[in-house]
Amino acid sequence: MSQNTIAYQGHAGAYSHLSCTKVFPSMNAHACDSFSQAMFMVERGEAKLAMIPIENSTAGRVEEIYRLMPKTQLHIIAEHFEPVNHCLLALPGTTLDELKTISSHPQALAQCNSAIEALDLQQIAHLDTAGSAEELATLKQPAHAAIASTLAAKLYNLDILKENFQDISGNTTRFIILSKEKQIPTFEADKTFITTIMFRVRNIPSALFKSMGGFATNGVNMVKLESYMASNSMSITSFHLDVEGHPDQPQMQLALQELEFFSSEMRVIGTYLSHPYRGDNEAEPSGESFT
């Protein structure tokens, strides 16, 4: 099954599942209980790819992913930005005025709070969005609703009473697509590439400042820099860096040489095409999406 399987975390109908069906419609999407399970399925060769959320425009970064990546030898081969359309779901035939309660992931409830209050519904927190839809379909509570995706509505045979139920539109999740095999696209001057690097700096004064200097002096744009503690002692800081560039470009080669000189560890974990969302939008995204 591995060559046609893409793993994701969450229930069937989760936003991660929705992203799998959009980007890889011919692949079999496999639900996993955790991010680590999805990633290590790829590491062991039990799945070809994994669709993993790394940041959300409302909720911020998915901290766990930064800690899991160094424990694998996986490569980022692509990125995907998924706008999240929260839908108000109910059992077939249910009307809005019949609803009394509503469940979903706490972030989804928070993002739809004003809409929920307008309907005077009692909120019930659930572990994830798709799980709340599955529970509604299983228990068949006539006065109950769930907030989840359009895919969840289809999978669990629920009516969509309202689409774009969130209070503010524009919340998007960025996913990375992981593979056991390295896949670096051929450099083309008219295309934008993202290169992702994990590194730790040497224990010298101003090491981070010096390690970043090569990108500035060579005109390489840094689009993301995240730090996280890499040990239980809180004494080792690791960094996750995204830059616009391809390793075949001379300026990137010079910048990477300087970064490597000031780093105690450095690993390029992927070079891939920049997703169109980056260019179309310096915009905002749409919904919860980690589940």
Supply φ then ψ for residue 29, to 5 degrees.
-85, 125
CB 180 within 8 A of CB 45: yes
Q: What angle do CA 170, 243, 218 make, to 5 degrees?
A: 140
CA-to-CA distance for 226 and 201, rounded, in angstroms?
Answer: 13
Token output for 195: 């290169």
List of residues 6+ apart from 123 with CB closer than 8 A: 101, 102, 103, 109, 116
Give the H or E element holding residue 288.
Answer: none
Tens digit of each residue's pLDDT (9 = 90 or more) over 46-81: 999 999 999 988 778 888 999 899 999 999 999 999
CB 222 within 8 A of CB 215: yes
**In residues, how long is the chain?**
291
Question: β-strands 237-244, 193-201: how paired?
Answer: antiparallel
pLDDT of residue 207: 87
pLDDT of residue 287: 33
Name the stretches of the chain with pLDDT < 70.
1, 230-235, 281-291
pTM, 2 dp: 0.88
HSE at residue 91, side-chain half, CA atoms within 13 A, is 15
What's the one-letter identity of residue 111? Q
CB 129 within 8 A of CB 152: yes
Q: Which of 24, 35, 175, 215 is catalytic?
A: 175
Count the Cβ atoms, other than its own, within 10 Å of residue 279.
9
Domains of the chain (ranges; CATH) run: 2-83+171-181 (3.40.190.10), 87-162 (3.40.190.10), 193-273 (3.30.70.260)
Tens digit of each residue's pLDDT (9 = 90 or more) over 41-50: 999 999 999 9
CB 79 within 8 A of CB 175: yes
Count the Cβ atoms, other than its own, within 10 Å of residue 192.
15
Partners of residue 227 on adjacent β-strands: 239
Q: Which of 58, 172, 173, 291 is catalytic?
A: 173
Please indicate whether residue 262 is annotated as part of the active site: no
CB 177 within 8 A of CB 23: yes
pLDDT of residue 265: 93
Please indicate whether residue 173 is annotated as part of the active site: yes
User: What are the E-state strand segments in the chain?
Assistant: 5-9, 28-32, 49-56, 60-61, 75-83, 87-90, 101-104, 122-125, 144-148, 159-162, 172-179, 193-201, 222-229, 237-244, 263-273
pLDDT of residue 283: 42
